[in-house]
Chains A and B, each alone.
Chain A
Amino acid sequence: MAFSMKGDFTDNLGRIYGVYVGGFAAFVVLMAVFEMVGIPDKFILWCYIGATIGIYAFIGIMSRTAQVSEYYVAGRSVPAIYNGMATGADWMSGASFVGMAGTLFVLGYDGLSFVLGWTGGYVLVAVLLAPYLRKFGAYTVPDFLGTRYGGNAARLVGIIVLFACSFTYITAQVYASGIIASQFLGIAFEWAVFAGLAGILVCSMLGGMKAVTWTQVAQYIVLIVAYLLPAIWMSTLLTGVPLPQLTYGQALSQVAEYEQILGVAKAHVAPFTTYSPKDYFFLIFCLMVGTASLPHILMRFFTTPTVREARKSVAWSLFFIFLLYFTAPAYAAFSKLNLMSLFANAEGLKLAFDQVPAWMLSWGSIEGHQLVTICGQKAASLDAIREACVAVAQKAFVDGGGAADAFDAATVTGFSYADLRLNNDMIVLSTPSIAGMPIWVVGLVGAGGFAAALSTADGLLLAIANALSHDIYYKMIDPKADSKRRLMVAKVLLVVVALAAAFLARTKPADILSMVAWAFSIAAAGLFAPLVLGVWWKRTTSAGAILGMIAGFCVTMYYLIGNVYGFDFVKGTGDEIKWFGVAAISSGIFGVPVAFIVTFIVSLVTPAPSQEMQEFVDKLRLPRGGQLIRQSS
């Protein structure tokens, strides 16, 4: 058995994951066979979730470790290409998987700001940060700040920023995994959250970074197959060519024709119909810089064997992320085409009530969410749809000068494309059923979304728990702790953080979920300047970096809270601030320059860093010679 060859596990990676991919393909085929022989849908969906959690748990248990360096940085033995896959899974959250194509579906060109912002940031990671952080040899991002900027003050500020950007993010991932589990297992959300929690803990608790790395590789494979298959399916069906990324040009042209027929004002490919150009470019900037500052992404590049591999692995990471992100616009175009053709081919361009497809009702009737909106109301049942559309037509009739009693409800027989609204988050999960794909594809997509949410949650969980155990407990509270005790503390804190996120997610905190988009601006404002300047400008002093971080973080938080809630902390009371019309999601546009300017000025007025520190930075810039700080194990 490959897994028993512990010492040369990394030599056998190709074989192990080859077997895994074969096994996964066989499993999907088995599910297709199950469907053909008439095994109930529900059983197939349970199999998907159960089997994937099972395999993650297996990898997690096999990768358990009692070594500190394996727990924190996977023993620094992850080859570039595998680290790329793990980073891909770490990066692509439940929201990317579930929501990206939906956002593009709804926003058209303007939604591409997310596609650009979430890929371009890796150039910054590769050029400015990853190789130097790897050379440095830290276990966590605050560890770098603490060492470069001499002391616990910088470390503590780093931890606060890390916590601010990562904790809301992980809560959203647990929430997403709960939603998917409840949807596919047919159990109540309150309990499904714990299915998600179990899926997260089995990957991370026993083996820390080592276990998370190898499960993330496995999760990447599941999620990319699950994402590509329906897109390839639609492309083959509609154009005969199984390359959706090349053929969706045709779909775009067709969509444009339908937009003419159906009288849709916002063309899919037209720029700046929802965002102004300023919103669009500010958002791209904040997402890019945020990507290059998120601790759970940066720490993935601590795990490669060398500096050279760290650089290469950023390239592989972006390649694996690119596979999903360049498919998302195709997904959106084909889904839109499918949906529009329903209306464009209907009589009078109205979808008759007796023609409403089953998926609209099954997704529309889900309790507690409004995923399908028809004529302004939740599409809970056929009667609800009819009632809503009749009410709208009646109001229009009366407003147009008609007498209320002259209105004949029987004339309302259907609704138009403009009356239909789909929630962004349902597009990917529902597309297989909208396009009439079999249940084994539906289950696969569910397993992919689940993998995406779990893998990101694991990365975030480690980033938070490791900062607490390594930076706060070991470096600040008890530097004499032995490795056994350190690992125990790390594992206990990991479970505590995971439980806290699960209990918070269980309350369905709408505000917290909308705060996830803030994480990028917060990380960018608080961490980008001290990390980049720490490497690229020797003159950066501790006081400069600390004050710069505080200033950037505070300005961004001030704007976020002020813009969204106002300073009475209640939404919509009229005391909200707005500077230059910048949206909350792009608030890093203020914090990032402030952090750089404050760091720069304060550094210049404080005494230069010691000769020792300047030589240290010189060494940081040369790959040869092994990592700079020795971690005691």
Chain B
Amino acid sequence: MSVTLPPEKAKAHWSRTKNLMFLTLAIWAFFGFVIHFFVGALNSIVILGFPLGFYMAAQGSLIVFVVLIFWFASSQNSIDEEFGVAED
């Protein structure tokens, strides 16, 4: 039924998982908040009619979030497979 890993292996799995969590949340915080602190400066760059600061909040950050979750899901899955704790 439920798997039990040897403690040091379980610890290694969880520390890899935690690192991935911190990395993902750092990217999330950057595109969710930090980049928008600079909206004023970014707005002076205009591409195809879009001021860049406006574009990042309206579209850029959203695209990053979508790609980020797909990437996170596959990274976490490869960690699980490496430690043999992925589902069959």
Within 8 A of B (CB), among A307-356: 307-308, 311-312, 314-315, 318-319, 322, 325-326, 329
- Interface readout for A189-211 with B: 1 if CB under 8 Å, 0 if not? 00000000000000000000000
In whole angstroms, what is the CA distance A626 to B1 when docked?
Answer: 7
A2 touches B (CB below 8 Å): no
- Interface readout for B29-71 with A: 1 if CB under 8 Å, 0 if not? 0011100110110010011111101110111011101101110
Q: Is the CB of B3 within 8 A of A624?
A: yes
Residue in A closest to B23 when the chains form the complex, CB atoms: A127
B25 touches A (CB below 8 Å): yes
Q: Is the CB of B69 within 8 A of A271?
A: no
Q: List A contacts of B36 (CB < 8 A).
A: 116, 280-281
Q: Is the CB of B57 within 8 A of A325?
A: no
User: A249 with B49: in contact, given A116-B36, A625-B2 (CB under 8 Å)?
Assistant: yes
Residue in B closest to A329 when the chains form the complex, CB atoms: B58
B12 touches A (CB below 8 Å): no
Q: Is the CB of B73 within 8 A of A314?
A: yes
B29 to chain A, nearest CB (A): 9
- Interface readout for A244-262 with B: 1 if CB under 8 Å, 0 if not? 0110111111000000000
Binds B, one of A117-125, A411-419, A433-441, A458-466: A117-125
Q: List B contacts of A623 (CB < 8 A).
A: 80, 85-87
Contact of B24 among A127, A285, A326 (CB under 8 A): A127
A126 touches B (CB below 8 Å): yes
A167 to chain B, nearest CB (A): 29
B13 to chain A, nearest CB (A): 7
Contact of A622 among B1, B13, B40, B51 (CB under 8 A): B13
A131 touches B (CB below 8 Å): yes
In whole angstroms, what is the CA distance A322 to B85 when docked?
Answer: 32
Q: List A contacts of B2 (CB < 8 A).
A: 619, 625-626, 628
Residue in B closest to A328 when the chains form the complex, CB atoms: B58
Chain B binding surface, main DSSP class: helix
- Interface readout for B1-32 with A: 1 if CB under 8 Å, 0 if not? 11111000010011001000100110010011
In whole angstroms, what is the CA distance A277 to B34 when docked?
Answer: 12
A-B residue pair count with CB separations less than 8 angstroms: 147
Residue in B40, B72, B73, B77 whose Cβ sees the most chain A Cβ within 10 Å: B73
B44 to chain A, nearest CB (A): 11
Q: Is the CB of B32 within 8 A of A116?
A: yes
User: A246 with B48: in contact, given A116-B57, A119-B62 (CB under 8 Å)?
Assistant: yes
Q: Is the CB of B87 within 8 A of A314?
A: no
A86 touches B (CB below 8 Å): no
Contact of A109 among B1, B17, B24, B54 (CB under 8 A): B54
- Interface readout for A123-140 with B: 1 if CB under 8 Å, 0 if not? 110111001000000000
Residue in A closest to B80 when the chains form the complex, CB atoms: A623
A96 to chain B, nearest CB (A): 14
Q: List B contacts of A112 (CB < 8 A).
A: 54, 57-58
Q: Is the CB of A618 within 8 A of B10?
A: yes
A282 to chain B, nearest CB (A): 11
Q: Is the CB of B87 within 8 A of A322?
A: no
Q: List A contacts of B50 (CB < 8 A).
A: 249, 252
A531 touches B (CB below 8 Å): no
Residue in A closest to B18 when the chains form the complex, CB atoms: A536
A115 touches B (CB below 8 Å): yes
Q: List A contacts of B43 (CB < 8 A).
A: 269-271
Q: Is the CB of B32 within 8 A of A120?
A: yes
Q: List B contacts of A314 (CB < 8 A).
A: 69, 73
A284 touches B (CB below 8 Å): yes
Contact of B72 among A126, A319, A326 (CB under 8 A): A126
A621 touches B (CB below 8 Å): yes
Q: Is the CB of B33 within 8 A of A115?
A: no
Q: Is the CB of A326 within 8 A of B5?
A: no
In whole angstroms, what is the CA distance A280 to B39 when docked?
Answer: 12
Contact of A252 among B21, B51, B85 (CB under 8 A): B51
Q: Is the CB of B32 within 8 A of A284?
A: yes
Residue ranges of B at the interface with A (Cβ–Cβ < 8 Å) = 1-5, 10, 13-14, 17, 21, 24-25, 28, 31-33, 36-37, 39-40, 43, 46-51, 53-55, 57-59, 61-63, 65-66, 68-70, 72-73, 76-77, 80, 84-88
Which 10 residue pairs spanning A and B have beta carbons closest together? A249-B49, A315-B69, A625-B2, A112-B57, A311-B73, A249-B50, A329-B58, A249-B48, A253-B49, A269-B54
